[in-house]
Amino acid sequence: MSLMKNLINGTNFDPNSLNALQKVTLRAVVMSFLFFGLVAIEGMIMRLVVTGDANPLPEMFSHPEHYFSIMTVHPIVGIFGSTYQLVFAAFMFLVPYLTKKPLYSVKLANCVWILITVGTALAWIAAFVWQYAPLYTLYWPLPADTKQFELIGGIVFVIGVALIMVGTLGFIYNIYATIFARVGVHKDKTTKELLISGFGIDGMLNLWNKLRGKQPYSKEPALSLPVVAIFRGTVDTFLDALVILGAGLLVLVYLIFDAIGHPLDVASINALLYKNFFWWGLDLVADGLVLIYVAGSWYLLATIITGKKLFMENVARAALMLELLVSWMVWSHHLLSDQAQPEMMKLISGEMVTAFELLTQGLALFITLVTLWKARPLKMTPPLAYLLGGLVGFGLAVPAGIIQADMGMNRILHNTQWISFAHFHIALIVGLYMTLYSALYVLWPLVTNNTKMFSTKLTWTHFWLYLIGGVGMGAFGGMAGLDGMLRRHLYIDGEFNTLMVLAALCGTMVLVAWFIFLFNIVMSIGIKGLIGIFLPAKDKSASYGIEEESTETK
């Protein structure tokens, strides 16, 4: 088949053969990877701006309003537009698939990706058109500062973020309504049994009984381990959505009062208290749902790749519960440089409880590796390679974060590029995304009805470029942080030129890898197939892999 034919028709992809669940999954995946491209381009613009004289971009990108507008929407597009969409898509497919029950509502799933897409676009427009740039941290009272930002920009931005959070709440409702639906294999289960399993209490009781030499509390838990991880991580997703919505509402009230000529006093909100509240919620993304979802994804991928049971499953269930509790108590590590923050909170929440993440994530890494090891020899397939890449990413990023969550180190690393690159860019780009790529290649045959990938060579090219580029960018950026480079600062004289040029080169590898990945996918499904994904499904089934028994969508 010629390249042109491939481009139009794909390999053997038939969008008409997809059911409603498969289509809604793929729609969100498409939007996620388009946003990924946007975020990679934004990242490259910021990298190039700080290379000083070597910067080939037009001058406008170096203007502070423009530069910080990009910095404001970069995480919104990356975390919500891309990552949330991809994770939500995978889980709205996986929960029905793993529980052998239909998704509660495909219509709601469609609303979720549309709301998040529109919300992300609005936030991006607010930054692009009105240069609204309080950064994602929204430190009070900056988001309500109408001396620096236009009112309309703030209002559009807040509405955008609110739509993303409403979409997120839609996802949460859909997931829990599916898990708690007493149909199919859960027809005879009670809500209490599903709750006990969802929170991993059965795993803890099994361990407790084993220690006492008694029979296990539950030989066959009601929910499989990956579903437990989704259940648990979604608790944090919910709490985080409430906090961000609450902060957005507060900003909106101030902006509206300003618009009608009766500005409120920003000093009536205590900036430090607000910062605690906001970081408590925002940290539920970074140290809560991401780590829990990732651990669950590793377990799922390890069992699918090996075809074996997970090693130490009860410990894994119990550890997920521990991770949930830990994630509620670690936010103070973001306030170690705030001198008015009580020292005990810094010590207990910021240092000691945060250090527990080394344990929970280390445990997930151990269980995944041993599960793989026990099944060797294995073929090095793309899903396995990406999974191992994901393990490398978190193996590097988690200790980098723990190192800074220390009162001594934080004094000289806070707000530097160390935390930005060595910690969360490696965690997201390498750790999280490589895990998600692994899931994508595992789920690809299921979601696309065995569509042949256009080129395996391109898949491997993507893998190596992405891994080396991601780790390299994190390493060079992290070194710049050690040299004193601040992360929310504009450098126009090439102060950290050498390291920034190297980071930009590695960033280019990530961007090129994304182009290759996209090309491979488009050549596999074809432009006709791409359009077909967005057309209504003839088969309204909201499930996959189970016999039809009233599985139609609501």
Partner 1 sequence: MTFSNSLELLAFHNVAYTIYALLIISIIAWFAYNLTREEKAKSIVRIPFYGYIAFLVIGGVGHHIFTYNAIPWVSEDITRDSIKPDKVFNFEIENHKWKLPKEKIVINCGEKVLFNVTSRDLMYGFGLFRQDGTMVTQMQVNPHSKNDLLWTFNHNGVFDLTSTEYSGPKQYSEDGKDLMKVEKIVKVVGCKEEGGKK
Residue 433 sits in the site that holds partner 1 (CB under 8 A)? no
Element (H, E) at 97: helix 85-99
Q: How far apart are CA 342 and CA 120, in angstroms?
A: 36
Least distance (Å) between residue 434 CB and partner 1 = 11
User: According to CB under 8 A, which residues from 272 to 291 bind partner 1?
Assistant: 272, 275
Give me the torsion for CA of 391, 396, 402, 403, rounded to 10°: 160
Nearer to partner 1, 215 or 268 (CB): 268
The binder of partner 1 chosen from 29, 330, 485, 525 (CB under 8 A): 485
Q: Which two tokens stand for residue 149?
A: 């930002």
Residues 6+ apart with CB under 8 A from 505: 472
Residue 142 CB, nearest distance to partner 1 (Å)?
6
In the bound state with partner 1, the residue whose beta carbon lies nearer, of 159 and 482, is 482
Among 11, 45, 114, 145, binds partner 1 (CB under 8 A): 145
Q: Apex CA 198: angle with CA 192 and CA 202, to 5°? A: 75
Tell me which of 90, 121, 222, 402 binds partner 1, using CB under 8 A: 402
151 binds partner 1 (CB under 8 A): no
Cα four-point dihedral sign 8, 90, 37, 161: positive
Is the sign of the CA dihedral 473, 330, 82, 92 positive or negative? positive
Minimum Å gap between C-beta 414 and partner 1 is 6
Q: Report if residue 366 touches partner 1, rule: CB under 8 A.
A: yes
Q: Report the residue from 41, 125, 388, 546 that binds partner 1 according to the rule CB under 8 A.
A: 388
Backbone angles phi, psi at 552, to 5 degrees: -70, 155
- Scanning the structure block, which residue is given the tokens 């990242």? 43
Q: Does 247 bind partner 1 (CB under 8 A)?
A: no
Asked if 502 is part of the footprint of partner 1 (rule: CB under 8 A), the reply reads no
Min dist. Cβ of residue 319 to partner 1 (A): 11
Decide: is 340 part of the binding site for partner 1 (CB under 8 A).
yes
Angle between helices 382-404 and 433-447 (to 10 degrees): 150
Given the rule CB under 8 A, which of 36-44, 87-95, 384-392, 537-545 is the region that contacts partner 1?
384-392
The token pair that represents 479 in the structure block:
């070194």
* Site size for partner 1 (CB under 8 A): 83
Q: Is 488 in the site for partner 1 (CB under 8 A)?
A: yes
Q: Does 399 bind partner 1 (CB under 8 A)?
A: yes
CB of residue 47 to partner 1, shortest distance in Å: 15
Q: Return the residues of window 48-87 that contact partner 1 according to CB under 8 A.
A: 62-65, 67-68
Is residue 154 within 8 Å of residue 126, measured between CB atoms? yes
CB of 140 to partner 1, least distance (A): 7
Interface positions, 10-49, toward partner 1 (CB under 8 A): none
Whole-angstrom distance, CA of residue 32 vs CA of residue 15: 19
Interface pick for partner 1 out of 172, 409, 468, 518 (rule CB under 8 A) = 409
| Distance, C-alpha 427 to centroid of its chain | 10
**Contact window for partner 1 (CB under 8 A) among 120-128, 190-198, 344-352, 545-553:** 344-352
d(CA 113, CA 314): 34
Residue 472 lies near partner 1 (rule: CB under 8 A):
no
Can you tell me which of 377, 536, 545, 547 binds partner 1, judged by CB under 8 A?
377
What is the distance, to the nearest Å, from the Cα of residue 159 to the centroid of all Cα atoms in its chain? 21
- Among residues 339, 545, 547, 550, the one that binds partner 1 under rule CB under 8 A: 339
Binding residue (CB under 8 A) for partner 1 from 37, 184, 216, 395: 395
Instruction: Map residues 181-220 to x or -, x wherever contact with partner 1 holds by CB under 8 A.
Output: ----------------------------------------
Q: Is 406 in the site for partner 1 (CB under 8 A)?
A: yes
Q: Tell me how far apart the alpha carbons of residues 33 and 11 are, in angstroms, rounded to a whole number.
A: 20
Smallest Cα–Cα separation from 144: which of 283, 271, 301, 295? 271
Nearest CB to partner 1, comparing residues 64 and 182 = 64
Contact 544, 28 (CB under 8 A): no
d(CA 462, CA 514): 7
Exposure class string for 439-477: b at 16+ Cβ within 10 A, else e: bbbbbbeebbeebebbbeebbebbbebbbebbbbbbbbb
CA distance 471 to 400: 13
Q: Per CB under 8 A, does 309 bind partner 1? A: no
Which span (128-136, 175-183, 246-254, 277-285) binds partner 1, by CB under 8 A? Answer: 128-136
Shortest reach from residue 356's CB to partner 1, in Å: 7
